[in-house]
A = this chain, B = another copy of it.
Amino acid sequence: MSLKLIEKRRSFGGEQCKYTHYSEALKCEMTFSIYLPSNKEEKKIPLIWWLSGLTCTDDNFSQKSGFQRLAEKHQVAVMIPDTSPRGEHVPDDEGWDLGKGAGFYVNATQEPWAKNYHMYTYIVEELAAIAPTLVPHFSGEESIMGHSMGGHGALVIGMKNKARFKAISAFSPILSPSRIPWGLKAFSAYLGEDQASWKEWDASELIKEVGMPPILITQGTEDHFYPEQLDETYFLKNAQEKNHVVHYEKKEGYDHSYFFIATFLEDHFSFHMKYLKS
């Protein structure tokens, strides 16, 4: 285990920590952040995962969302992975929507991505094994949230592991990656042209299955990626057909930024805590 604590900052009574480690799944050095609430009463602590969007690292949510106030208030730990493998030897693309900063939380099968781009396994297996060792008094309960590409990631990871994640939420998520420009580009590159293989990575397909966790989605009406990249029609239609609990809400005048996320994050934390403190 190469896990190394490189930063620890007190924040709202708890600790905002940053670690580096060598990832076997990604074949490179990785950085992630985790927030640990003060837990003065030594209670059991659940864990929320946050997945960020295109171009982000683990820093965006840590620095711009103000989530620490809510995590301390609700006494929940928050795990924040990076958005792709990193390092000079890792393949990249000229575009900001493919390669580094754009892992799309899938396991790539195509060259040159197949060696490193296994963000799904990295999060679901490798980080999942590390997180409990870092959270004192971990309750074993987990939920997942994310933004944009990370909203797609939260939905896909949450639904593919529906027994594990008690709730899923997303801000302005990519809901149908197989049907929108960002997803078509990324899935073609990472998964190849056979679109049958895309279905297991598409929230709009996964929602066709039964027994999904409760889902909250918040979308700003002034988001300049909406609806082109973030169209909800097909996802909501499929969810409705299966009678899934999906709260989809639009917020008037809000854009795609962390100003939007910060505004409604309290609602998302409250939603998650309903299912984590059971």
Contact = CB atoms under 8 A, between A and B. Distances in A.
Interface stretch (A44-52, A174-182, A203-211, A256-264): A256-264
Given A10-B253, A10-B255, A262 B68 contact: yes
Contacts of A9: 255, 257, 259-260
B63 A63 contact: yes
A225 interface: no
Interface string A218-256: 001010000000000000000000000000000001110
Contacts of A13: 263
A216 to B, nearest CB: 19
Contacts of A260: 9-11
Interface of A: 9-13, 16, 63-64, 66, 68-69, 220, 222, 253-255, 257-260, 262-263
A69 B258 CA distance: 13
A232 B32 CA distance: 36
Given A64-B64, A69-B66, A262 B222 contact: no
A68 B12 contact: no
Nearest to A12: B263
Which 8 pairs across A and B sit closest by C-beta, in order of nearness? Answer: A66-B66, A11-B259, A10-B253, A9-B259, A12-B263, A10-B254, A63-B64, A16-B259
Given A10-B222, A253-B10, A63 B258 contact: yes
Contacts of A257: 9
A12 B255 contact: no
A253 B16 CA distance: 12
A265 to B, nearest CB: 10
B259 A68 contact: yes
A148 to B, nearest CB: 16
16 contacts: A9-B255, A9-B257, A9-B259, A9-B260, A10-B255, A10-B259, A10-B263, A11-B263, A12-B262, A12-B263, A16-B259, A63-B64, A66-B262, A68-B262, A69-B262, A69-B263
Nearest to A9: B259
A1 B68 CA distance: 41
Contacts of A10: 220, 222, 253-255, 259-260, 263
Contacts of A63: 63-64, 258
Nearest to A256: B9
A232 to B, nearest CB: 20
Residue among A11, A64, A253, A257 with max Cβ neighbours from chain B (10 Å): A11
Contacts of A262: 11-12, 66, 68-69
Nearest to A16: B259
